[in-house]
Amino acid sequence: MTPAIPTAPAKPEPSAAAPRPARRSLLRSLGIGLASLRLTVTLLILSLVMIFTATLDQVHLGVWGVQQKYFHAFFVMAKLPGTDLSLPVFPGGYVLGLALLANLITAHVWRFRLSWKKSGIWLTHFGLILLLIGEGLSGLLQRDGQVRLDVGQTRRYVESFRENELAVSDVTDAAFDQVVAIPVERLLGQATIQHPKLPFTLKPIAYFPNATLHPRSQMTNPPPAVATMGDGTDLIAESAPITYKPDESNWPTAYVELTGPEGTLGIWLVSAILEEPQGFIYQGRTWQLALRARRDYVPFTLTLGKFTHDIYPGTDIPKNFASTIQLHGDDGRIDRSVLISMNNPLRTGGYAFYQAGYANNDRTSVLEAVRNPSWLIPYWSCALIVLGLVLQFGLSLSGFFRKRAAAVRSVPSSP
C-alpha cells in the first residue's frame, strides 16, 4: 500500500484558489499580496542575498561598517561609478525586516485560524515577530562603550567607542569640574556655538573625522600653523580617510576659535590624538579643552582592585581574565566587591560590564559596557520559537508514526 503523501500544500494559498478579480477590493488584493507565502519566500531569499553580500563586504568595511551599510539601513546604497551620486541598489535590513513583519502579521490576520494543529506555527511566528522587533529596538537603543581602569583607579563614566565630544571644562574649583560637552557633530557646521555656562563662544574653523598630526618642525616647507594657542601651534592636522578596520581607530580633529566679548581668544587645535587636555586662563578662571570619547556618566563608581590574566602553561594562549571591582552606588545603598571575568559579566544600573581585554602589561583592565533596555527580548522570543517549532514538528512526527503504524497493521507482511 502506498500511503497518501501530502506533497501538495496542506492548505492552498488564497491567491491560488479560484479568484474573483472583479469583486476584489483594493484592500483585499493588498491583503492577499502581503499575506502570501510567495512574498515570504521572496523576502527570505532577498535577506539571504543581503546577508551573504554583507558578509563578503566585511573584508573591506569591517563589522561595524557593514552594520551601518546593510543591516541598520533602509536601503543599501552604492555610488554611481564616476559620480558622487548614491543610489539605492538593494533593500536594507530595516526594509526587509519591516516587510517580513508586515507579511507575518497580515498572514496571521488574513489566513490563519486558531487551531491546535496551527499552535506551533502561531508560537513560532509570534516569537519571530518579537525577535524582529527586539533586533530593531537594539539597533535604536543600544549604547556601548568601555571603561579602562588601572589597578586602584576609580571611574564613574563609560567612554563611547565611536562617538566623540569636545569637552570644555571649568576646573578652577578643586572640589569639582564644570563640564560643557559638545558632540563633535556640532563641529561639522561652521555655526558659532554659544552656551549659557560658557563666557565665550566657539566657532569651528575645520573638522576632520579622522586625521594625522605632523609637527611643523619635522616638515620641509611647513605651511603656516592654523592654531594660535595651546599645544597645536607647532602642529599641522592632515585629514585622513575614515578607517573601518577593527584594529585601527579614527582620530577626530578640529580647529576651533574661541571668542569673548572683547574679541578673539585664539584658535586651538583639538584632537583625540592629544591625550592631555589643553588649559588656559580666562577672566581669572582656569579652563580646559579636550576632544575625547563621549562620556556617559553612571550613578555609581567602579574601582579596580585586582586584575589577573592567566595563560595555559608553556603557551601564550589566554586562559582567563578577571577583574575584581569595588562597586559603590551614589545613593550609598550599594558597596560591594564583584568579580568580572570572561562569560561572567556584572549587570547593574541598566548597564552590563564585560571583561573585554587588557593593556599596559596587565596593569590596565578594559571592560566593555553595554546598555540595552531591550536585552531580554531575544531570550523571550527564542523560548517562544523553540517551543513553537518543537510543537509543530512534534505534531507532524507523531502524525507520521500514527500513519506508519496503521500502514504496518494493514499490511503485516510488508518489510
Partner 1 sequence: MNKNLPLVLLVLAVVWVACTLAPSAASGPFDLAEFGRLPILADGRIKPLDTIARTGLLMLQGRQRVVAPDGRQLTPDAWLLDVFFRPEAADADSVFRIDNSEVLTLFNLTRSDGVGGVRFSFNQLQAGLDELDRQGRLAEPIDNAARTAFQRGVIELREHIGYYDRLKFSLEPPDSADFDADLSDAGRLAAEHAAFTTMDTLSSLRVIPPAAASVNPGDWESVGHSMLSAAAPAEVDPHVRLYALLGHAWRNSQPDVFAATLHGYREELLRRFPAALRRSDAEAFFNRAQPFITSLFLYVTAFLLAVISWLVWPEALGRAAFWLMGLAFAVATAGILDRMWIEGRPPVTNLYSSALFIGWGSVGLCLILEKLHRNAVASAAGSLIGFGTLVIAHHLSLSGDTMEMMRAVLDSNFWLSTHVVTVTTGYASTFLAGFLAIIYLVRGIFTRSLDGRTADALARMVYGIVCFATLFSFVGTMLGGIWADQSWGRFWGWDPKENGALLIVIWNAVILHCRWGGLVRQRGLMALAVFGNVVTAWSWFGTNMLGVGLHSYGFTDAAFNGLVIFVASQLLPIGLAAVPRSKWRSPASAGGAA
Site for partner 1 in 355-384 (CB under 8 A): 356, 368-370, 372, 375, 378-379, 382
Residue 354: which of 330, 335, 375 has the closest Cα?
Answer: 375
For partner 1, the closer CB: 34 or 180: 34
Q: Does 405 bind partner 1 (CB under 8 A)?
A: no
At 225, phi and psi to the nearest 5? Answer: -70, 140
Per-residue mark of binding to partner 1, 267-306 (x: CB under 8 A): ----------------------------------------
For partner 1, the closer CB: 15 or 192: 15
Q: Which of residues 214-273 bind partner 1 (CB under 8 A)?
A: 246
Q: Residue 344 forms beta bridges with which residues? A: 341
| Least distance to partner 1, CB of residue 325, Å | 16
- Calpha distance 164→180 (Å, rounded): 13
| Least distance to partner 1, CB of residue 54, Å | 7
28-32 long-range contacts (CB < 8 A, ≥24 apart) are 31/106, 31/109, 31/110, 32/110
Q: Which of residues 107-136 bind partner 1 (CB under 8 A)?
A: 134-135
**Burial class of residue 365 in the structure, from the number of CB atoms within 10 Å of its CB (0-12 exposed, 13-18 middle, 19+ buried):** buried
| Least distance to partner 1, CB of residue 337, Å | 21
Residue 93: which of 77, 70, 65 has the closest Cα?
Answer: 70
Helix (H) / strand (E) containing 224: none
Helix (H) / strand (E) containing 362: none
For partner 1, the closer CB: 279 or 378: 378
How many residues sit in the footprint of partner 1 (CB under 8 A)? Answer: 73
Counting Cα atoms < 13 Å in the Cβ hemisphere of 232 gives 31
CA angle 111/114/116 to nearest 5° reads 125
For partner 1, the closer CB: 133 or 229: 133
| Least distance to partner 1, CB of residue 134, Å | 8
Among 5, 27, 114, 281, indicate the residue that binds partner 1 (CB under 8 A).
Answer: 5
Q: Which of residues 131-170 bind partner 1 (CB under 8 A)?
A: 134-135, 138, 142, 144
The answer to whether 304 and 358 are in contact (CB under 8 A) is: no
Q: Does 26 bind partner 1 (CB under 8 A)?
A: no
234-to-213, 217, 267, 298 alpha-carbon distances in Å: 10, 7, 12, 37
Residues 6+ apart with CB under 8 A from 261: none
Among 150, 312, 336, 360, indicate the residue that binds partner 1 (CB under 8 A).
Answer: 312
Q: Which of residues 329-348 bind partner 1 (CB under 8 A)?
A: 342-343, 345
Q: Does 21 bind partner 1 (CB under 8 A)?
A: no
| Least distance to partner 1, CB of residue 364, Å | 17
For partner 1, the closer CB: 134 or 230: 134
| Least distance to partner 1, CB of residue 109, Å | 18
